Amino acid sequence: MMILTSCGSSGGSGPDEGQVYKVGFPALLSGAAAFAGKPIANGAELAAEEINQTGFLGEGATVELKVEDIKSDPAKAIALYRQYVADGASGVLCCGLSSEAGALAPVIRQSKTPGVVTSAILDGLASPPDLFRPVILPSAPGGVYDKFVDSMVKAEGYKTAVLVVNGDNDAMVADGKVWKSAMERNGVQVLDTVSTSAADRDFTAPAAQIEAKKPDVVISSMLGLSSSLLARSLRERGYDKRILSSYGASGPVLFETGGAGLKGLAFATPFAAGHSANETAKKFTDLYTKKFGAEPDMFAAQGYTAMWLLAEGLKKSGDPSPEAVGKALSQITTQDTVYGQLRYENGQAVLDDPGVYLEWTGDGKLTLLNPAG
C-alpha cells in the first residue's frame, strides 16, 4: 500500500484537510505478464508515495493505494474491483492486459467507480466518466507504428516481411492489421501471417515456418514474452535479420527468456530511461532507480502516469465520491508526463511525438536506434 503527491495544481476547491482517498489496484504481480505487471505496480506506488510526500492533494490529504495480485485472472480482477467499490474507493487503477480490460470494463461502467487504465490497448476502452486511458496507443493512424515502419523501411530497405500474431488476443490481432497495412503502404510484401497463442512457450514450429519464407524482416505483433521466445527460436535457426515489435518487448526481464536471441529486435517507445530531455522523465528515472535499484522501463512509466492522472482527478474534485472524481477526470484535457505533454480526447491520451527507437544488443542492453542515420 502506498501514497503519493506532487507539486502543481489543476484547480478545483481541493480536498478537505486530512482526507484519505482510497485507490484500489488489481495488478499483474505473478504469471506470464508479471514482467510488465510488477514495474507497473512499482511505478504506481512510487507516484502514490511522491503524491503524499509533496502534499499534492492539499494539507494533510493523502491517497491510500492498495495493490493486490489478480494472478492474470480477469475474474479475480472483477472480484477485487467490486471489493474496492464496497470499501469506498474513489477510483481504481486497472487493466494491465486487454483480456482483463475486456472483462472488467463493463463492470466499471456499471458500478461507476472510475478506472484508469495502466497498460491495456484494447480498442474503445476510454469512456468518460467511467474509464480513462493515459496509455499511448501506438496503432492509432499516423501513430507510433506508422512512423516507426516508415522510418525503418526507408533506412533498411525491406522488400519482404512475415507477420506473427497472438491470434487469441484481440489487441494483438488489431495491431497486426496496422503493422501489415504500414508495411504494404511502404511497398513491403507481407509473405505470410503466422498465428500463435499467447500461452505458447515453444516457438520452434513458427520459427521454422518463418525461416522457410526467408523474409527481410519479421514483425512480432505479440505480447512481450511471446516476442522474446520467438526471437530466441528464430536466432537458433540461423535467422539473423531484423525483428520489429512493440514496446511490449522492452522489459529487461525478457532478456532472461530471449537471451542473445533478442539481438537486433527493435521497437519504438514513448519513454526510455536515459533518452529523454523531459525533466519529468529525468526526475521519475532518478526516483525510481533510487527506490528499486534499476532504471524504469515503459511499463513502470505507465503505472506512474496512471496514478498521477487519478491524483489530478482527486485534487480537481475535492470530493472522495467516485461520481465527483469521474466528473473531474472528464474535465482534464492535458497532462504533463514522462512522455511529454499528453492531450486527452474523450478520455484517451494522445501524444504527437514519435517517441524513441531502441534495439536489443546481444549482451542485454537497450541502445538508441537512429534509422535516419
Which residues, in sequence order, are CB contacts of 314 under 8 Å at separation 6+? 15, 21, 57, 63, 90, 91, 320, 325, 328
Which 3 state secondary structure label does DSSP give 307? helix
Give residue 14's pLDDT band: very low, low, confident or very high (50, 70, 90).
low
Return d(Cα 183, Cα 202) in angstroms, integer.
27
* Residue 4 confidence (pLDDT): 32
Here the cell at position 154 is 526507408
pLDDT in tens, 277-315: 789 999 999 999 999 999 999 999 999 999 999 999 999
User: Over the stretch 158-197, which tens digit does the pLDDT of each residue have?
Assistant: 999 999 999 999 889 999 999 999 999 999 999 999 999 9
Q: The pTM is what?
A: 0.85
Spatial separation of the C-alpha atoms in residues 339 and 302, rounded to whole Å: 10
Cell 494533510 sits at which residue?
60
> Which three three-digit cell numbers place residue 93?
487503477
- pLDDT single digits (tens) 138-152: 888 888 899 999 999
User: Residue 368, exposed/middle/buried by CB under 10 A (0-12, 13-18, 19+)?
Assistant: exposed
For the chain, the first-to-last Cα distance in angstroms comes to: 46
Cell 507539486 belongs to: 7
Q: Using CA atoms, how far apart are residues 115 and 24, in angstroms rounded to an integer?
A: 9
Q: Return phi, psi of residue 166, to 5°.
A: -75, 95
Taking residues 119-129, report their average pLDDT.
94
Amino acid at position 193, single letter: T
Q: Is the pLDDT of residue 321 over 60?
A: yes
Which domains, and CATH codes, for the chain? 20-136+277-338 (3.40.50.2300), 144-269+355-368 (3.40.50.2300)
Collapsing DSSP states into helix, strand and coil, what is residue 218?
A: strand
pLDDT reported for residue 74:
94
Average pLDDT, the chain: 92
